[in-house]
Amino acid sequence: MNILIKKAQIVDPSNKEYHLKKHDILIKDGIIAEIATDIQTGENIEILEKDNLHVSTGWFDSSVSFGEPGYEERETIKHGLFVAAKSGFTDIVLNPNTNPVPDSSSDIVFLKNAAKESATSLYPLGALTVGAEGEALAELYDMKNAGAVGFYDYKHPLKNANLLKIALQYNQNFNGLVHSFPLDKQISGKGIVSEGEISTKLGLKGIPHLAEELFIARDLYILEYTGGKLHIPTISTAKGVKLIAEAKKKGLDVSCSVAIHNLYFTDASLEGFDSHFKLMPPLRTKEDSKALIAGLQDGTIDYVTTDHRPMDIELKRVEFDNAEDGTIGLETAFGILNQLFDLETLISLLTKGRERYGIPTPKLQVGESATLTLFNPEPEFTLDTEHILSASKNSCFIGSTLKGKVYGSIAKKQLIS
């Protein structure tokens, strides 16, 4: 792959030499060969020019679901990774919520092999417990050796505190990363939305903030006792941010993430009973959203995620109470975040987090492999289903105004645009 990118504004806050400067970038055989203000080249070089072209290192998402194996009608690995590449993501962490769930080394090998030819790299999580049933630890060490970058019973909280204790202790033998979804099912009960004024007004059963915060506090106490590495995915409350900030001040090895929709929407969006807004964790208050954004800005929350979760149409086009949780988000990530943060902060958020999973961080420098995202931060448009490439169309952002256009990405000697 030989490409000459012309007149691109480089956005790379970690690179003072090129940051916010307009340069040509020459890529030969997948390697960045030259970066200069004006590069002249001969034949057999593809010229890439776009309106208001901006370039950054490739984006990363720590929480993506597809469907294969078991739910291929929702999304296959091949097509899902193509959508990710078109959306600017060159590396994604795949959630273990397929059928069967990946709880053995052979399952991890299957997922890795299915993604080999794609431009976007796939890093699978293995289930923390056998069948994600929360009863016994899965083959964690074998999965780690096969390529699993962490362990997670996706959206299933670990009700057995002792099992989490053992998992954190055991994973220290091989530097494993344990995920724990924060939800106390005994407190949440049959709740489906955030408990508060909106849930009462709509007559929907609520999930108290306490249900999330109790488990965050529990998990942090266990981590303080055991040591190890803990990741708390997709937090949604202001108190949760505070609890994690306090744990980090103690020196605990904990990280956390937040889903983009919990930054952008609040429970006020539920008033139309649109099942696209049935999410887990649920949409919270404006005060929670503000605290989550502030947590990203001050580093308490380590990274932002799409929490991309395709769903069959028949699982969403039902009464709100009976609909499945989840929204897709890869294609809308940039257009939403671009309204919440300045461009430098936004690109920092979209490119950080790999280190937590032991994934190499690409560099926009001569001699490095070209792992780049191409975009224009200016255009605005209203999202419609016709803009969605994903096999499933269950997006809570349909009808929202997006700012910015992603042209695609370059990775593993492929241009996807």
Share of the chain above pLDDT 90, in %: 98
Q: Around Cβ 293, how many Cβ atoms within 10 Å?
A: 19
Indicate if 307 belongs to the active site.
yes
How much is the pTM? 0.96
Alpha-carbon gap, residue 12 to 298, rounded angstroms: 19
Q: Around Cβ 40, how many Cβ atoms within 10 Å?
A: 8
What torsion, rounded to 10 degrees, do the Cα atoms 28, 32, 33, 38 define? 100
pLDDT band, very low/low/confident/very high, at 113 (cuts 50, 70, 90): very high
Residue 87 has pLDDT above 80, yes or no: yes
Quote the pLDDT of residue 248.
Answer: 98
Quote the pLDDT of residue 44.
Answer: 86
Q: Around Cβ 102, how many Cβ atoms within 10 Å?
A: 26
Pairing of strands 89-94, 54-57: unpaired
Cα–Cα distances in angstroms (integers) from residue 235 to residues 215, 225, 263, 284, 353, in the given order: 11, 22, 11, 11, 16
Quote the pLDDT of residue 337.
Answer: 98
Cα–Cα distances in angstroms (integers) from residue 91 to residues 95, 153, 289, 362, in the given order: 13, 21, 26, 10
- Domains of the chain with CATH codes: 2-55+366-380+404-416 (2.30.40.10), 58-357 (3.20.20.140)
* Set 12, 29, 307, 321: catalytic member: 307
User: Which sign, positive or negative, has the C-alpha torsion 153, 157, 160, 165?
Assistant: positive
Residue 243 has pLDDT above 90, yes or no: yes
300-309 burial, b at 16+ Cβ within 10 Å, e below that, comes to bbbbbbbbbb
Q: Which of 277, 258, 264 is nearest to 204 (CA)?
A: 277
Q: What is the mean pLDDT of residues 377-392?
A: 96
Quote the pLDDT of residue 1.
Answer: 83
Q: What's the residue count for the chain? A: 417
Cα–Cα distances in angstroms (integers) from residue 253 to residues 175, 222, 244, 311, in the given order: 12, 12, 10, 33
Alpha-carbon gap, residue 168 to 170, rounded angstroms: 6
CB 138 within 8 A of CB 149: no
Burial of 45 (0-12, 13-18, 19+ CB in 10 A): middle
Q: What is the mean pLDDT of residues 265-282?
A: 97
pLDDT band, very low/low/confident/very high, at 42 (cuts 50, 70, 90): confident
pLDDT tens-digit profile of 303-357? 999 999 999 999 999 999 999 999 999 999 999 999 999 999 999 999 999 999 9
Alpha-carbon gap, residue 368 to 56, rounded angstroms: 14
pLDDT tens-digit profile of 45-63? 999 999 999 999 999 999 9
Residue 199 has pLDDT above 80, yes or no: yes
Amino acid at 177: L
Quote the pLDDT of residue 401.
Answer: 97
Quote the pLDDT of residue 43.
Answer: 75
pLDDT band, very low/low/confident/very high, at 156 (cuts 50, 70, 90): very high
Quote the pLDDT of residue 252.
Answer: 98
Q: What is the mean pLDDT of residues 352-367?
A: 96
pLDDT tens-digit profile of 159-196? 999 999 999 999 999 999 999 999 999 999 999 999 99
**HEC-encoded secondary structure of the chain:** CEEEEEEEEECCCCCCCCCCCEEEEEEECCEEEEEECCCCCCCCCEEECCCCCEEEECEEEEEECCCCCCCCCCCCHHHHHHHHHHCCEEEEEECCCCCCCCCCHHHHHHHHHHCCCCCCEEEECECCEHHHCCCCECCHHHHHHHCCCCECCCCCCCCCHHHHHHHHHHHCCCCCEEECCCCCHHHHCCCCEECCHHHHHHCCCEECHHHHHHHHHHHHHHHHHHCCEEEECCCCCHHHHHHHHHHHHCCCCEEEEEEHHHHHCCHHHHHHCCHHHCCCCCCCCHHHHHHHHHHHHHCCCCEEECCECCCCHHHHCCCHHHCCCCECCHHHHHHHHCCCCCHHHHHHHHHCCHHHHCCCCCCCCCCCECCEEEEEEEEEEECCHHHCCCCCCCCCCCCCEEEEEEEEEEECCEEEC
Quote the pLDDT of residue 169.
Answer: 98
